[in-house]
Amino acid sequence: MRWSLRVIRLAGIDVYVHATFPLLLLWAGVTNYQDRRWWLDSVFAMGFVLVLFGIIVLHELGHALAARRYGIPTRDITLLPIGGVARLERIPDIPRQELVIALAGPSVNVAMAILFFLLAGGTRILGRDLDFNLFAGGLFTNLMLVNLALTVFNLVPAFPMDGGRVLRAILATRLSYLRATEIATRVGQVFALLFVALGFRYNPMLIVIAVFIWIGAVRERAMVRFTHPI
């Protein structure tokens, strides 16, 4: 991807961060400073963003390694301020393969959520108020909540997000690949519109994600119309 800097190579796959990523770090630092005007809050918030992006790299690596099992190489993994992208050499049109690859990412988050749940003291935290609070909450509890949130968010059936790929794969077991893609695209577009509405209300980042979903869905549908005309 253009405007990206290579930071590490994992399992033979180059990991890049996009040039806009430092802006997110800066934003995290500044907004968290304003509250208590304490520089350590900034450092802590920026550190948490870095850890968060480490988690996203592992999620993308989950997709990449699952794809590798089916002989599909991954060109690279890029971190954008809105999340990660693993660029697979191709998207398999065998539903079972797409299903496994799509679920591999969120599975990593489920595994990490369980790990952090145990590290946070396991069952002791059950029944307590589990509001996410970067400064008051325990680190492991926060990391568990982040992984749960990433699992749920990625499984929203907003094609071409992971949940949307799961939907397409399931539909493609009964319908033609093209028909399955068309339905998944429509559902993805409905979610994109919903994200725009929620973005105005809660977090503008959702609007950016909605644009990516919409463009991604339309682009992939166009490709499938070309490769699988019936």
**Cβ closer to Zn ion: 137 or 216?**
216
Task: List the x/- string, 150-179, binding to Zn ion by CB under 5 A.
Answer: ------------x-----------------
Q: Write out the two tokens for 63.
A: 């997709």
Size of the site for Zn ion (CB under 5 A): 2
Burial 137-152 (b: 16+ CB within 10 A, else e): beebbbbbbbbbebbe
Give the residue nearest to Zn ion (CB): 105
SS3 14: strand
Least distance from Zn ion to the Cβ atom of residue 103, Å: 9
**Cβ closer to Zn ion: 105 or 137?**
105
**Cβ closer to Zn ion: 42 or 147?**
147
**Cβ closer to Zn ion: 108 or 120?**
108
Query: What is the spatial distance between Cα 112 and Cα 120, in angstroms, rounded to a whole number?
Result: 12
Query: What is the spatial distance between Cα 126 and Cα 77, in angstroms, rounded to a whole number?
Result: 35
- Active site (annotated) includes residue 98: no
Q: Write out the two tokens for 13.
A: 């796959």
Task: List the x/- string, 124-143, binding to Zn ion by CB under 5 A.
Answer: --------------------
H or E segment at 144? helix 139-154
Least distance from Zn ion to the Cβ atom of residue 135, Å: 29
Q: Please give the residues from 78 up to 117 whose contact with Zn ion meets the rule CB under 5 A.
A: 105
Least distance from Zn ion to the Cβ atom of residue 154, Å: 5
Q: Write out the two tokens for 110.
A: 């489920």
Query: What is the spatial distance between Cα 97 and Cα 71, in angstroms, rounded to a whole number?
Result: 11
Query: What is the spatial distance between Cα 195 and Cα 210, in angstroms, rounded to a whole number?
Result: 6
Out of 60, 89, 182, 220, the active site residue is 60
Residue among 81, 139, 146 at smallest CA distance from 112: 146
Q: Write out the two tokens for 164.
A: 């949307």
Least distance from Zn ion to the Cβ atom of residue 74, Å: 12
Q: Please give the residues from 180 up to 219 whose contact with Zn ion meets the rule CB under 5 A.
A: none
Q: Write out the two tokens for 124.
A: 């002791």
Which positions touch Zn ion (CB under 5 A)?
A: 105, 162
Catalytically active residues are 60
